Structures are given as structure tokens and as C-alpha cells.
Amino acid sequence: MRSIFAFALGLLSLAHALPSAKAKSALATTNGTRFSIDGETKYFAGTNSYWIGFLTNNKDVDTVLDHISASGLKILRVWGFNDVTSKPSSNTVWFQLLSASASQINTGSNGLQRLDYVVQSAEKRGVKLIINFVNNWSDYGGMPAYVTAFGGTKEGWYTNTKAQAQYRKYIAAVVGRYVNSPAIFAWELGNEPRCKGCSTDVIFKWATETSAYIRSLDHDHMITLGDEGFGLAAGTSYPYQTGEGVDFEKNLAIKNLDFGVFHFYPGSWSVSNDSGPKWVKDHAAACKKAGKPCLFEEYGTDSNHCALQKPWQQAALQVAADGMGGDLFWQWGDKISTGQTSNDGNTIYYASTDATCLITDHVKAINAL
């Protein structure tokens, strides 16, 4: 009895001493042009699952995170938004209802509690999440849903007072839920923000102010923009231009953005598949110059996954000491209780031959660096 009591006391004081030390070292950070996770500074691989926060079965969430973690992937990027302009039926997951007069953030069991479970499950498995707050595209609402609710245009979204006020309310709601979680890798302003034909000042100013706002809510977790990496002086083809209102190098200098991200979809951008290595290395060089890591955050092709994407991964590893901190392929595929997860043509399914090539072999190459 006495010894049990002493043991329990010992545990109590340990539990009391642990949180701050643990929370600090467990937080993902930058370390020069590399990332550091759980105190380890190296190159990290990961993936994207836009749908994991919309699953309604906890076991499915656990299955996916078990597989991701067992594959040696450390970073998972998920959609932290799910905007609607009218309330769906009760078994449909939604996070925010946008309305000129009565916007509502859904903290119920078909709302942010679904994202809570992803964060909890990731925490248990040591997987780190990138959570973003709005979509450029209309999937899951996005900026077009704000335009429906508050008026104006898609290009005007970045400066629309009512839209921005609601966007900030939403950010505060999400950041507030996970501000102390070691499972957050970074907050992300949006998915692929573009402002076609706009001055690059529009997104620059919005990103400067929004990242400062997030920093005021959360001093510790990293923050990033979520753009495609457009606008680089090192080339002349479409993605190197600033026509979508994005200037990668200018945005990279924003104080409260901790690292740069970029995507690569040669199919949708009409550039050659083998321009990937240059695209990767040009971003790494810009990141090295800025003294911040780059994350190759999305990449994909709708066929020939292994043959086409392997050289992009190899290029990233070649500059792992020169600006490139990690990469996340688009997108994770798995088998869950409802069958196969979303197949958009780009999906790399767990335990497939594509997964051997782009995950197993890639993780081996990273460990051999």
C-alpha cells in the first residue's frame, strides 16, 4: 500500500514535470532549411488526404493513419475546411455554413469533431498534420462559397471585409481547438490560393496579414501559405510566371511564413513531365536563399505514376541539403469500411506496386541520405 502510494506520487510529479519539456521537443519546427520533428532534423516524406477529416467512422481514420505511419510517412496534409452555403442532411459532414446574416461554425459530431478525431489519432501515431483553412477551388465550398454568401468576386475575396472577417473567425475556431497539440505540423492559409490577373501585392498583403493574425493566436506552430509555387525568376513557362497573382520568392520573405511550399501538375499546367527536376531545384534554390525550408507539398500525374514521379523525388533528395525539406505526394489511397477511397487518377494506393516505388523505395532512399 505504502509503496503503491509512493509510486503513484512519483508518477504524479513526473506527469507534472513532463508536459512543457515534451510539448516543446515534440513540436515540428524549422532548423535552417530543414524541418525538425520530435527533435530529429532530417528530410521527411508524407502525403495528402483531403478526405480524412470527412470520414464518419473512427476506425477508418485509425486504419488510414496506421498505414501512413507504418509506411514511414511523417507528414499528412488534410483539408481543415468544409464550407457550405446551406445546411446539408445530418449525416453529411460540414464545418462552416457561410451566410451574409447567420454564418455558423459546426462544432457538432458531424462538424469539427471529425477533425478532432483525426488530430487525436495522428497524435497517437506521431504523424504531423498540415491543416488548411480555405480552398481556392469550389470543392468543399472554398472561396466561391464565400462569394455566394458575401458577394463580390473570386479575385475580390482577398480584400472583401465581410469574407475576411468570417475567414478569421473560422481560423480562430480551428487554431483554438489544436493550439496545444503536438500533432500539428503547420497551419496553412489556403489550398492553392490564386488571384488571376491581380497584382502580386494582393496575395502578398493578404498572406502577410493573415499569417500575423495566426501568429497572434499561436506562437509555436509553423505557418505556411499553401500556394502552388508559381512566380519564379528562374524560368519563363506558365508556372514560372506571375499571371495567377502569386510571386513565390516575394511571399517566401513574409516574416510569419516559416517555410515555402510548391506543387507540380505538368498535366494541368501543360508543361513537360520531365521539367519536374528543374521545378524542384529552382524552388530549393529560392528557399536556400531565403534561409527557410521548401516543402514539395503536392505532385501527381494521372498515369505512369512510378516512372514519371520518381525523377521528381530523386531531384528533391539531391537538394535535401540545399533548401528542400520534404515532399508529400498527391494523394494517399486506402481500403476502408466503405471500400476504396477516392480515386482521382493520381491516387497511390497503400500496398500497391506504385506504393512500393513512390513510398517504400523513397523512404529507403531518405534513410540512406
Q: Is 36 in the site for ligand NAG (CB under 6 A)?
A: yes
Q: Is the dihedral of CA 65, 66, 67, 70 positive or negative?
A: positive
Contact pick of 304, 340, 342, 356 for ligand NAG (by CB under 6 A): 304
Binding mask 38-77 for ligand NAG (x = CB under 6 A): ---x------------------------------------
Going by C-alpha positions, the residue among 190, 114, 195 that lies closest to residue 153 is 195
Minimum CB distance to ligand NAG smaller for 67 or for 194 = 194
**Piece of 13-21, 171-179, 296-304, 321-329 that binds ligand NAG (CB under 6 A):** 296-304
User: Cα–Cα distance between 262 and 139 in angstroms, integer?
Assistant: 20
Binding mask 86-125 for ligand NAG (x = CB under 6 A): ----------------------------------------
Q: How far is CA 248 from CA 146, 157, 170, 276, in A?
A: 25, 20, 26, 17
Instruction: Please count the other Cβ atoms lying within 10 Å of the Cβ belonging to residue 162.
Output: 15
User: Cα–Cα distance between 56 and 26 in angstroms, integer?
Assistant: 28
Minimum CB distance to ligand NAG smaller for 92 or for 304 = 304
Could you say which residues in the range 195-254 bind ligand NAG, by CB under 6 A? 195-196, 244
Q: How far is CA 113 from CA 187, 218, 341, in A?
A: 18, 20, 21
Q: Among residues 192, 228, 244, 297, which one is catalytic?
A: 192
- 85: DSSP letter: S
Minimum distance, C-beta of residue 67 to ligand NAG, in the bound complex (Å): 26
Q: Which amino acid is at 77?
A: R
Q: Is the dihedral of CA 359, 365, 368, 369 positive or negative?
A: negative
Instruction: Please count the other Cβ atoms lying within 10 Å of the Cβ belonging to residue 139.
Output: 14
Minimum distance, C-beta of residue 251 to ligand NAG, in the bound complex (Å): 16
Q: What is the DSSP string of 139-176?
A: TTSHHHHHHHHH-S-TTTGGG-HHHHHHHHHHHHHHHH
**Piece of 13-21, 49-57, 134-142, 250-258 that binds ligand NAG (CB under 6 A):** 134-142
User: Is-catalytic flag, 298?
Assistant: yes
Could you say which residues in the range 308-367 bind ligand NAG, by CB under 6 A? 308
Task: Give residue for cell 442532411.
Answer: 89
**Piece of 120-128, 131-139, 250-258, 287-295 that binds ligand NAG (CB under 6 A):** 131-139
Contact pick of 191, 301, 331, 347 for ligand NAG (by CB under 6 A): 301
Characterize 202-225 residue by residue with b for buried, 16 or more Cβ atoms within 10 angstroms of its Cβ, and e for exposed.
bbbebbbebbebbbeebeebbbbb
Q: Among residues 123, 188, 228, 298, which one is catalytic?
A: 298
**Piece of 80-88, 108-116, 179-187, 190-198 that binds ligand NAG (CB under 6 A):** 190-198
Minimum CB distance to ligand NAG smaller for 178 or for 264 = 264
What are the percentages of helix, strand and coil residues in the chain, rounded to 5? Answer: 45, 20, 40
Provide the binding-site residues for ligand NAG, judged by CB under 6 A.
Answer: 31, 36, 41, 136-138, 143-144, 154-155, 194-196, 244, 266-267, 272-273, 301, 303-304, 308
Question: Looking at the annotation, which residues are catalytic?
Answer: 192, 298
